[in-house]
A and B are shown apart, each in its own frame.
Chain A
Amino acid sequence: MTSPGSGVPAVELVSLTKEFADFVAVKELDLAIDDGHFFALLGPSGCGKTTTLRMIGGFEEPSSGIVRLHGEDVTGLKPYRRPVNTVFQSYALFPHLTIHENVAFGLRRQKIDPGEVNRRVGEVLELVQLTGRGRQRPRQLSGGQQQRVALARALVNHPRVLLLDEPLGALDLKLRKEMQIELKRIQQEVGITFIHVTHDQEEAMTMADTIAVMHGGTIERMGHPDEIYEDPRTTFVAGFLGASNLMDARVISPEQGKLVLGDGTPVWIEPSRLMNGATTVSVGVRPEKLHLSAPDSPLETPNRVPGTVTDASFTGASTQYLVDTQQIGEVAVTIQNLGDRRFRANDQVTVGWYPEHCFLVT
């Protein structure tokens, strides 16, 4: 056993592979998750994120590779022999038991003294704000409440790692937003490592300290949410984390960060992002990083292309434009509504952006 903060990762996956009869769900995955972190496995369905989680929980046997929990090899151990607990997507509450007995289930199996069981169940029900619901049955509760029971039932065991399999998937949008904040609060309060599987990039970015974006059974990009959002590095990650405008460019001067578009229009980017010696690159920039101006009031941004507004939709806090340009095709632009001039379809505009807001993708 190791104490938190000793440097041993809470979860360590070594070359983990899972092959099913007709496809490979997870391919030689290497991953170390620090203790006390809120970690998100993000990806579309079929990317292997749930299979990875199930291998950590012990519900799926890896075809090869090792699962370590706090340095201890648990590969091949049954779920009930692993110091982790899971919040299932369907909640999987026992319908024949009361809320109290659902939450107490894990403690009773561990033969914990009944007085202690009652104390801990009361404590955790308070943590998830369900005090007084103990005698009800799962189906008497709302979806959000059931979700919190599922969380309490796992947390009451003081697991060293909590696995969450799309825990908010069944909730409506408003409740989901509330629960995101709630989950984050609880994680900070209990200080347990959370591994959260989701296909919702906003959810992952709201809650997680670290996000691993999975694609085709491997991790394509991993890092702090803003880090991977601002510099996604691959087209897939760029597209999965939000909208982005991509353009092909030729490298002119790697030292200065100077590129040119197909028609010779210069584009400047941060030289540090031009790592490898590539001569042609794909440049991305997020819609909210773009600026618009009328042709007669020039932008200060080093990068500029002229275009025509083809669509403008007002969404309250911001306006979403589509601008047709000769150099980079149709670009999406999001402008905060700060009381500046708004454009309409067919207006001539200049689209501009700063070098530090460009990222390169492969």
Chain B
Amino acid sequence: MRGSRFRWLLPTYLGLGLAYLFMPVLLVIMFSFNDLRGRFNVRWQGFTFDHWLDPFRVPAIPRALGPSLTIAFLSALVSTVLGTLIALALVRYRFRGKAATNVSLFMPMATPEVVMGSSLLALFVAVQAATGFVTILIAHILFNISYAVATVRARIAGYERDLEEAAMDLYADEWQTFRRVTLPMIMPGVFAAFLLGFALSFDDFVISNFTAGSVQTFPLYVWGAARRGIPPQVNVWGTVVFLVTVTVMLLYLRWQRRSALKRA
């Protein structure tokens, strides 16, 4: 066989690619077990469970996680609801301003974050809104909506309008049709939009930095801490967030595969 001498090539390439992706993550996890002396958690000094047993030792971390998780949850929720409705309207109906809606939805994805963050700040200053929790939330909903629409729209485009007509034919009014047929059909897309929004919001630094005022989110705290030396508890929490995200994604994939099997 012609390719047999190079059979190792593809697996090696894949292995290197994965290593490149996961090295930084592995380092973060590894250094959450580092028995460090001094302030800078950059050199391996021995193994310890200390930081895992005392994750709240630095009070600024839970104080930053609170708003981060709340904002991630709320912005994902609001943007998923709005995004789903917008996606339905865009796929189903022809209306004035449809093209303009499409373009304006794409804008937050295309605009550099620095530009968007600074314009938002300028806006909030102009309307004399005190920056803080609410302004971060507004900003995160703003950029999350674009991704939510894109995610849900892909799901709606793939199924037949007939199903809704069939539901209405079978005595379901508009609301029941949405709840019993439309929503279950697009649920995988809606759920994916929520997860994506949560991750994007939790992870955001640039836009939060402009709109946060005196509120500190987790990325903002880490940024600030980096100059003084990042406490290993940050690694602990980073690992937790990583593991939770991976677990949810795996559960989601399994659920999707199982419901796909049921339908197959």
A residues at B contact (CB < 8 Å): 57-59, 78-80, 84-86, 88, 90, 92-96, 105-106, 109-110, 137-140, 153-154, 157
- Give Cα A96 to B258, complex, Å: 12
Chain B contacts of A84 at CB under 8 A? Answer: 169
What string of 1s and 0s marks CB contacts (under 8 Å) between B146-188 and chain A?
0000000000000010110111111111001000110011000
- Give Cα A57 to B171, complex, Å: 12
Q: Which of A80, A90, A105, A139 contacts B160 (CB 8 A)?
A: A90
Q: Which of A92, A138, A139 contacts B165 (CB 8 A)?
A: A92
Contact status of A96 and B263, CB under 8 A, knowing A106-B171, A109-B171: yes
B172 touches A86 (CB 8 A): no
A92 touches B166 (CB 8 A): yes
B residues at A contact (CB < 8 Å): 160, 162-163, 165-173, 176, 180-181, 184-185, 259, 262-264
A80 touches B185 (CB 8 A): no
B166 touches A86 (CB 8 A): yes
CB-nearest residue of chain A relative to B183?
A96
Contact status of A96 and B185, CB under 8 A, knowing A90-B160, A139-B264: yes
Q: Which of A79, A96, A137, A139 contacts B168 (CB 8 A)?
A: A79
CB distance from B258 to the nearest CB of A (A): 12
Contact status of A88 and B162, CB under 8 A, knowing A137-B262, A137-B263, A139-B264: yes
Please give 13 more A-B residue pairs, beta carbons under 8 A apart, in addition to A79-B169, A95-B185, A109-B171. Answer: A57-B169, A80-B169, A88-B162, A90-B162, A92-B162, A95-B263, A96-B184, A96-B185, A106-B170, A106-B171, A138-B263, A139-B264, A140-B264
A85 touches B162 (CB 8 A): no
CB distance from B148 to the nearest CB of A (A): 21
Chain A contacts of B259 at CB under 8 A? Answer: 96
A80 touches B173 (CB 8 A): yes
Q: Which of A95, A137, A140, A157 contacts B170 (CB 8 A)?
A: A157
CB-nearest residue of chain A relative to B176?
A109
Chain B contacts of A86 at CB under 8 A? Answer: 165-166, 169
- Give Cα A154 to B172, complex, Å: 13
CB-nearest residue of chain B relative to A150?
B166
Q: Which of B162, B172, B173 contacts A105 (CB 8 A)?
A: B172
